[in-house]
Structure 1
Amino acid sequence: MLALSHYNSTASPLPGFLNASRGKLEARVAVEGLSQQGNFTLVQPTTAGAIVVILSMTLGIISNIVALFILVNAYSLQRRRSKATFLLFAASLVVTDFVGHVIPGALVLRLYLHGGVRPEALNSSDGLCQFLGGSMVFFGLCPLFMGCAMAAERCLGVTKPLLHSSLVTKTRTKICLCVIWLAALCVAMLPCVQLGSYTYQDPGTWCFIKVLRDTEEVDVAFVALFSGLGMTCLAVALVCNTISGLTLVLARLRRQPGSHHPAKSHDIEMVVQLVGIMITSCICWSPLLIFGLMTAIRSYAGSIGDDLSSYKTLMVMGVRLATWNQILDPWVYILLRRTVLRKIYLIAKCQAGLRGNKLGRWEPTSFHSTEKKEVHQV
């Protein structure tokens, strides 16, 4: 031992340095090889990721506050019951998006600031992961449910106005909102009764349904329920908005040039906004709904194999797109208002030269309603 110590203390430090460097290089190559094979996960949340989360949260908070101010102001000035019902739905959607943007965003930011979880903990869960995963499912289903309910309500109001006036009231609208929140909460809490589970997802900064590793039958059923409900809501909204849009277009084309129906301007505005919400939801949520179900099925069948890293990337891309839904939704109400639509229509009409065409029946005055005060203030 003394001889060895003496040799190490008197020998040149260069061989030791080379050996250490070679050992570090070999370890790094081994880790990268395991990572590429999907057997090991490098969990290295970057500072840039935390900055992106902060900027996203700030933009989402500002957008939702502005949209909520516009909707509340319009609701206080609105005297038409059908429009008031729509504004109540829309304001509830914006509030849900706001809360759903702040709570999960704050938890993800906390995980980023703490460097994420260890690689060996990716397949585990704790109280924070359970709450974050449940929040993502709850605040993901709520906007989809509300968009579907709003589309169905407008379809009934456009196609069957008398039936709509007798069935749809503010009280029933509030009950419907409570049912939507309760239904989404029940789905999100299914793991509490062992029907599915939440786990940390790569890169260890967010939680979602277990879809990548050790997927069981209940996990596949849970993902199928989540994706099935989401895709069904998008499909129903697409059908209802298509029917509403076609009904309004046919009514405009059949209307006599000298007649005016100011009330139709409300329907036009609401249907245009619903189409904007539907398009935004389809773009933002479809990837996560589809990729999540595909990943869970392949993981349960054991056929992912070398494609594991690709599915991890798809899941991360899907959840990032889904978070943008809560940022883009408020801009639908900010940009697609009657005052903005009227300006867009005037510009498009001047460019296309449609003054003598049938589309000329879409006069600018049709975007005015009897509540002129509301238009100018909103």
Structure 2
Amino acid sequence: MLALSHYNSSASPLLPLLSNDSAGKVEAQVAVEELSQLGNFTLPQPTTSGVIVVILSMTLGIISNIVALFILVSAYYRQRRRTKATFLLFATSLVVTDFIGHLIPGALVLRLYLSGGVDPADFNSSDKMCQFLGGSMVFFGLCPLFMGCAMAAERCLGVTRPLLHSSLVTKTRTKMCLSVIWLAALCVALLPCFQLGSYTYQEPGTWCFINVLSDTGEVDVAFVVLFSGLGLTSLAVAFVCNTISGLTLVLARLRRKPGSHHSAKSHDIEMVVQLVGIMVTSCICWSPLLILGLMSAIRSYTGSIGEHLSNYTTLMVMGVRLATWNQILDPWVYILLRRTVLRKIYLIAKCQAGLRGNMLGRWEPSSFQSSEKNDVNHV
């Protein structure tokens, strides 16, 4: 989980341009001190309320992932159906990845936040901590998207081609698929180590990400295209697979004869509902950052970002904040969209609909007609 701080800062046109020599740095420092004394410039300082919000959000994410992990592990050991066990293995791996991705980057961001962040003059310089934090963001961002895509494809095959699914999908192959997903995300995250892209500090100096706003080069654009392209493609494939699975289950439900056995389909419905929840959560949380990062990098590389730089900076901060909520909301998909919970919701809705039907039945035209006939007969 990444929590980004707000800073109370106002840029002044009186600030001199920072140069690389020591004299320029001294002049810049003197100017900053003079302006801060005049009240025209406020150095970034973390607020107590911001720290409390960061700690509460991290605590919520950790508790949510632990509860979801306990539910999934318990269901995995109780489950004897191989198709359901495969799905639970994917889901458990996703929650574990979300938990680690919430804990490690969140702790690093909190450390930067408490230390006051990085000075804006050092944004373009990337140290080991920035490299690790930026790589963690890319790795823990791609992994859930890849896993959601793989889970949707696995369920689509299980719903549309159950015999082929039973012969192809095994626990061993599922574990191999998970290993390939983690390895692929790691390879993408490590590309800047081979000078194929770069990570830099981002406004307000408390997080690192791909260089998309300033001095963007060709390799940076290529890196962003790769990152955003893989993420958006995973979301698109998941959408197609979940749509096919949902339509197949709906058609099977409509064709089912009354009184036939449908317990197997109830498991499929539960899994597809959870996958749709994961897909919707991922689309809402990750699409803005993926699209904004791509747009910012292209406009920065072409030099057309210009005076819109502050707007793109604000949008990037909002996008990464929204993306971090994916790791908090994902566990609630498994907590709330379980079959037992869905059955209770269905029974409550059915009960409410029955009560409304009884109330409406008292005012049906047939009831008026029968009452009129009774009155006539009585006369």
Pick the TM interval, shorter chain.
0.7 to 0.9
* Offset, 1:25: 7.8
Change (3 A) 1:45 1:25: closer
Q: Deviations over 1:247-284 (max 9, x none)?
A: 00110011011212211111010000000000000000
Unaligned residue ranges in structure 1 (runs of 5+):
1-22, 33-41, 357-378
TM-score (norm 2): 0.83
For 2:181, the equivalent position in structure 1 comes to: 180
For 1:64, the equivalent position in structure 2 comes to: 65
Change (3 A) 1:268 1:108: same
Corresponding residue SS for 1:263: helix
For 1:134, the equivalent position in structure 2 comes to: 135
* Offset, 1:57: 1.0
For 1:248, the equivalent position in structure 2 comes to: 249
Task: Say whether residues 1:320 and 2:326 are aligned partners.
Answer: no
TM-score (norm 1): 0.83
For 2:199, the equivalent position in structure 1 comes to: 198
Give the letter for the 2:233 counterpart. T
Corresponding residue SS for 2:208: strand
Which stretch shifts more, 207-216 or 256-265?
Answer: 256-265
* Offset, 1:348: 2.4
Q: Is 1:67–1:333's contact at 8 Å kept on the other side of the alignment?
A: yes
Give the letter for the 2:259 counterpart. G
* Offset, 1:28: 4.7
Q: Is 1:60–1:101's contact at 8 Å kept on the other side of the alignment?
A: yes
2-structure distance, mates of 1:152, 1:46 = 45
- Give the share of equivalent positions with the same residue, in percent: 85
1-structure distance, mates of 2:198, 2:321 = 21
Give the letter for the 1:239 counterpart. V
For 1:264, the equivalent position in structure 2 comes to: 265
* Offset, 1:344: 1.3
* Offset, 1:354: 11
For 1:86, the equivalent position in structure 2 comes to: 87
Count, aligned residues = 324
* Offset, 1:123: 1.6
2-structure distance, mates of 1:192, 1:60 = 30
2-structure distance, mates of 1:24, 1:315 = 28
Task: Say whether residues 1:108 and 2:109 are aligned partners.
Answer: yes
For 1:280, the equivalent position in structure 2 comes to: 281
1-structure distance, mates of 2:355, 2:163 = 34
Q: How does 1:1-378 map to 2 (within 5 A)?
A: 24=35, 28-29=39-40, 43-353=44-354
1-structure distance, mates of 2:123, 2:51 = 19
Give the letter for the 1:223 counterpart. V
Give the letter for the 1:93 counterpart. L
* Offset, 1:50: 2.4
Q: Deviations over 1:51-109 (max 9, x none)?
A: 22211111110000000000000000000000000000000000000000000000000
Give the letter for the 2:101 counterpart. G
Corresponding residue SS for 1:213: coil
Give the letter for the 1:186 counterpart. C
2-structure distance, mates of 1:303, 1:27 = 35
2-structure distance, mates of 1:194, 1:49 = 35
Which stretch shifts more, 42-51 or 254-263?
Answer: 42-51
2-structure distance, mates of 1:151, 1:282 = 14
2-structure distance, mates of 1:317, 1:281 = 15
For 1:20, the equivalent position in structure 2 comes to: none
Give the letter for the 1:167 counterpart. L
Give the letter for the 1:255 counterpart. R
2-structure distance, mates of 1:176, 1:139 = 17
Corresponding residue SS for 1:200: strand
Give the letter for the 1:219 counterpart. D
2-structure distance, mates of 1:143, 1:302 = 33
2-structure distance, mates of 1:69, 1:132 = 28
1-structure distance, mates of 2:278, 2:337 = 10
1-structure distance, mates of 2:298, 2:35 = 39
Corresponding residue SS for 1:212: coil
